[in-house]
Structure 1
Amino acid sequence: VKKLIEKSDRIVLASMGTPYLIQEFPEIPVYLCAYKSNGMMQEALLNALLGRTNITGKLPVTIPGVAELGHGIAVQMVNKITSNKSSKPGPQIIQVMPSEIGVNTDVITALLNEAVEKKAWPGSVLLGAKDGKIFIQEAVGHHTYDKKRRMRKSDIFDLASITKVIATTSAIMKLYETESIQLDDPVVKHLPKFKGKQKKYFDIKSGITIKNLLTHTGGLPPFRQYFLMDGTAESRLDSIYNTEPIYGVGDTTVYSDVGIIVLGKLVESISGTPLDEFVQSNIFEPLGMNTTFYNPPSEKSHRVVPTEIDPEGNLIRSYVHDENANSLGGVAGHAGLFSTAKDLGVFSQMMLNKGLYGWKRIFKPETVDLFTKRANILEGSSRCLGWDSPSDKASGGVYLSDSSFGHTGFTGTS
């Protein structure tokens, strides 16, 4: 350090422990003290050095000969300058101390641990953020009740029906923006096989639109046990396309896996690309969501949290829990995606930023607004386009605003 000081005066000394380190290097022009060396403080220090967050701390002690108690230089975060002065990046999620935004996380952590103690679950991961600032990222418990592997913040979960919005709805949003589809297009326009083989349903199924499937108003059943059928994935798909409606189009809202499976195949038909590859290249890779994928690679299997014990007594791990998705090769519109809390935090922040994350534009603001507001196909329905909005009995509780949107998954994800 002293040799560096001799060569340049553009040096920042950062301490991850004792604040008195500066006494050994009095020539240092800039001193940043983080007090601890845990992961949260390391990330906070990096964000401060890169200008991603404000520096507002004050010394809690006096450092003799250097600075008095309460001293500290406030530094405002910087925005990247571009040729377009009106452009601003979308906030990116960063780790902060809970006190920075006035949150006490003790109660939250206590509830998570209580759930483990009472065996509501063997373990869980929770990430909470406000205005792009992660105030809690907690992992409690273990993967299983035998406590062989502790839960870690970076562990990977089977998202179940969250796949419907993160993957399939996002893919539809992309096709909508490129004008490859219109929301009122009949599904059969892009996927003729959806008409099926039963002539008595031709007219009804020909009238089901992309918007109907997104809002679960297409009249299709919630699900069918296609996985019990003999044959190949293609023969099961044939059965899916041949599924008869149980209600009239637009008559009622029936949450339907069948309809979203069809939407996934529609994406593939239009794009000429498998669904998993389409969302990987258009959504996940641009966002840096490196731990979001279908069919987790074997080298990451130890990080995948099991979902259930199968009838033979084996853990369901590293392959999709949903039987229909599994029987289709693990890639489907309604289920099959795996991810981490951090990756979902990135995606959620992008959506809250109206499609922008940092300097990466994923969706147009008007597209996000269109898909995350109530579609009002049926009066009183909470359904948006793909997404859901709060209702009187929302699983998200009673404190969600009217502009909130979200989704849950059968495996306990949300």
Structure 2
Amino acid sequence: MIRSVSQTANPSADAAAMLRRLGFAILFFAVPLAALFTRRALVVMAPLAVILLVLASVLDGGARHAWDKLTALAASPGGVAGLVLLFWAGLSLVWTPFLPQASERLLNIIGMALMGLGGYLAIPERMRSANLYLLPVGVGLAALIAISLTITGGSHFDPEGLSLERGMLMLVLLLWPAIAWLHSRGRNLEAIGLALAVAICSLLTRDGLPLYGLAAGAVVFVVTAWNPVFGSRLIGFVMAGLLLFAPVLPFILKPVAASLLGANSPTTLGLEVWRRIILDEPLRLLTGHGLETALRGRFFGLVPPSAPSTLLFEIWYELGLVGAAAGSVLLYQAVVGAKSHRATVAPGIMAAFACAFTLGCLGIGTAQVWWFTALVVLVLIFVAIERGQFRTKRPKAALRRTV
């Protein structure tokens, strides 16, 4: 009697598979759920998930050609723009009035960038579908929980509702990679149901930011689905153009806001403050006031309290023309370069860009660590989805005649 030869057990590969599965479960499933209940969940769980993925890649040797990937990324136009932006932010520590706080913020940004690079290198070249299906399940369950929390008035862990609002913003961001994955698998009904669930809980929230971000992403999703090349270039030009020519906006939008919203509305007053800052200190448009001044300056009288809380104002006020130019190049190259070889994934990527940029322009706390972490998580999820597109359809079984 001939016995089949069993394969040699590989403890390292088994341990790597377990760690990778746990890391993706935290990143795809646990993060959207925990973000609804505690504000620190994302900052704690995302690095933990990346560490597990890095350990898994070390155990099974999944991170191949890491140096070549890093070199190609740094030598790309977007990589060069990112390095210039990071260098200029570090140089602005020389003239910022808040050196300790600005140094801490810069270290946080560097830490988030390193975490993103580690996760990018640790994600395997071919992702298992079982791991990626955790994302829409986690987003869908989080959306149902968010609906119940908004109806009942929140949880005992979050009496003021701050974690719920932050969790809703995270949920709106993660909706687009979840839809992209379901759409790429042909599960369009599930994708529509998931979008409706997130839209309902966005309508029920007190703050309108999640709904605005969702609306912007939906418009870009439709445009990119109609024409992927036109959609990607359009969103790239719009984002880069708004950032580069942001100082012109208060002069154009202030009369419009005054006529539509009134002269004493917060939006009109914020645009007037921005216009005065530009006219009073035109030379500061070149260098900026230094990192962390847009936020800390409000508490020390350097910046009027009614100044805009938006990404466009903060970049120009802190880093000036050099930072804004480098940031606009980085945005455009990131959007145009984020192409997928599957047309079903591209609309979700562009919608996520539009959603995140809209939230940043409408006053989300872009200087906070959790927002940087959320963007890193979003990028890593899309990288994983892109690497899960290697199979287009299930192979058919071949029947052979035996003699």
Indicate the TM-score class for this superposition, using the shorter chain for normalisation. under 0.3
> TM-score, normalised on structure 2?
0.24
Larger relative contact order (Cα-Cα within 8 Å, sequence gap ≥ 6): 2
Between Structure 1 and Structure 2, which shows a larger proportion of strand residues? 1
> TM-score, normalised on structure 1?
0.24
